[in-house]
Amino acid sequence: MVAQVGSYERKQLLSPSRIVRWSHGRRFELARGLVKSLGGRSLIDYGCGDGMFVKRVHELVDQCVASDVVPCDLSHIRGVPFVRVDELDERHAHRYDLVFCMEVLEHCVAEGVEAVLDDLRRLVAPGGAVVISVPIETGPTLLGKQTVRRVLGARKVGDYQWTERYGLLQLMKMVFARENTAIPRPVHSDGRLKWHTHFGFNWRALARSIERRFVVEDLRFTPLGWTREFASSQAWFVCRPR
């Protein structure tokens, strides 16, 4: 399995849905802004997908590396090498001033979450920053997202027609979720990898795991940052290693 060039870009930034384009466009605006404001000469995108983030920021740093669990063809992005996650050996330890991990951890099974967070801490250079973004799938945001997904699914936009549906009790539990709230999350597998969809993801629970390893210097939200988590789609943790 190889990540197809432009696959996520077409789904998100070039979606026929205006709301999808706007939401993900704001996400990448914030990410690019963080690269500029945090500074640093080297960056790794951990969970790069089709490379649409490094495509937009590689010129802002001296060294930019993309990494994922499956191969990705980055031949269209000059000067950005790809390294598989399981090949990030000691040569990469404490090497990167900026470590980005965007929209990855919500897909990881429990042991995978811990492994990824340990990797991020291992990769970041002394004095460097780790930026983690995850979707908000709780509170009023969840109701809004599920409504939009149902509409887009009915219109056969992207893969929204296969979005997993909540039972009423599950939905209410996640709408009023606190950091300890959890519902069973289906595990998907291709025989080699296991993953979750967004279903049942609780970003507040993840925050506790992040804070065990990092000092969270800033918590931001997109696309409507001023609403905090109540009407935003993504949460952003800007961290330094403990």
The pTM of this model reads 0.95
Does residue 183 sit within a domain? yes
**CA 170 vs CA 11, 144, 146, 151, 226: distances in Å:** 27, 15, 13, 20, 28
Q: Quick one: tokens of 117?
A: 């967070």
Q: What is the CATH number of the domain that holds 41?
A: 3.40.50.150
* 149 in a structural domain: no
Q: Which domain holds residue 49?
A: 7-139+171-241
Q: Is residue 236 within 8 Å of 222, Cβ to Cβ? A: yes
Residue 124 covered by a domain? yes
Question: Quick check: is 102 in a domain?
Answer: yes
Residue 202 domain flag: yes
Q: Decide if 145 is inside a domain.
A: no
- Name residue 194's beta-bridge partners: 189
The reply to whether 159 falls in a domain is: no
Per residue of the chain (242 residues), give pLDDT as tens: 445 556 778 888 888 889 999 999 999 999 999 999 999 999 999 999 989 999 999 999 999 999 999 888 888 888 899 999 999 999 999 999 999 999 999 999 999 999 999 999 999 999 999 999 999 999 999 999 999 999 999 999 888 888 999 999 999 999 999 999 999 999 999 988 999 999 999 999 999 999 999 999 999 999 999 999 999 999 999 999 98
Q: How far apart are CA 135 and CA 153, in angstroms?
A: 19
> Which amino acid makes up residue 131?
V
- The reply to whether 70 falls in a domain is yes
- Angle between the 110-123 and 203-213 helix axes, to the nearest 10 degrees? 40
Total domains in the chain come to 1
